[in-house]
Amino acid sequence: MVLDVLVIAPHPDDAELGMGGGILRLLDSGLKVGILDLTDGEPTPHGSVEIRAAETEAATKVLGLSWRQNLGLPNRSVEASLEARKKLAGIIRLTRPKWMFAPFWIDAHPDHVAATELVEAARFWAKLSKTDMPGEPFHPQRIYHYYCVHLKMHANPAFVLDISQYWEKKLESIRCYHSQFIKGREHMDPMFLDQLRDDAAYWGRSIGVKYGEPFISREPIGMIDFESLI
């Protein structure tokens, strides 16, 4: 399936956490959006391969996606290896997205750091000729980075997206991952989902709206008008 936007997630739930609102907004604008999870996310304290697969399917339905796949890399051991690069580049050549989204490149989680290194390398490899990779050479125009990190740090975003009207549905998609964000966390104060709401409210306030999501870019962002600025 040819896509307009391909979101790369190290684990199931990262795409929803980092840019669930953005995914919903992109879909609402008529773009074809897909998520490629690099791993199945297991093992975790309260999950299993079967549980995570069911949770991912439920979240995918909430978002309304028609394309989501898994690259089958090992959780906790993601590497930007040549083999993984070739597999991802093949997906890029087949789906041909104009834009790709990857995790922010600074993180405490090695899988997230490796995932972004892998995405950037695969973007380059996808345009190669004289190769046995599937599909035809293709080079996505842009990579943007969503913010879903395990460090207590303040991002310096290139832009913040207004997701106010999509917040409740984003939260619904995240609640699908019960084994990750609800089970075993009942004792936490504040609860993880409350912290997530507070973060979204913080970014919303930074641009004068209720809820927002920050995005980062290594490359300059082009504009043709000022109508979308708020």
pLDDT in tens, 99-149: 999 999 999 999 999 999 999 999 999 999 999 999 999 999 999 999 999
Q: What mean pLDDT is reported for the chain?
A: 95
Tell me if 160 is assigned to some domain: yes
Tell me if 223 is assigned to some domain: no
Mean pLDDT of 146-172: 94
Mean pLDDT of 63-78: 98
Tell me if 222 is assigned to some domain: no
Tell me if 91 is assigned to some domain: yes
The pLDDT of residue 155 is 80
CATH number assigned to the domain comprising residue 51:
3.40.50.10320
The pLDDT of residue 150 is 87
DSSP 76-135: T-----HHHHHHHHHHHHHH--SEEEEE-S--S-HHHHHHHHHHHHHHHHTT-SS--SSS
Tell me if 224 is assigned to some domain: no
Tell me if 227 is assigned to some domain: no
CB 7 within 8 A of CB 34: yes
Tell me if 107 is assigned to some domain: yes
Range of the domain at 23: 5-216
Total number of domains in the chain: 1
pLDDT in tens, 3-21: 999 999 999 999 999 999 9
Lowest-confidence region among 22-26, 60-64, 153-157, 214-218 = 153-157
The pLDDT of residue 189 is 62
pLDDT in tens, 73-107: 999 999 999 999 999 999 999 999 999 999 999 99
Tell me if 165 is assigned to some domain: yes
Provide the whole-model pTM: 0.96
Mean pLDDT of 176-180: 96
Nearest-angstrom CA–CA distance, 64 and 56: 12
The pLDDT of residue 56 is 98
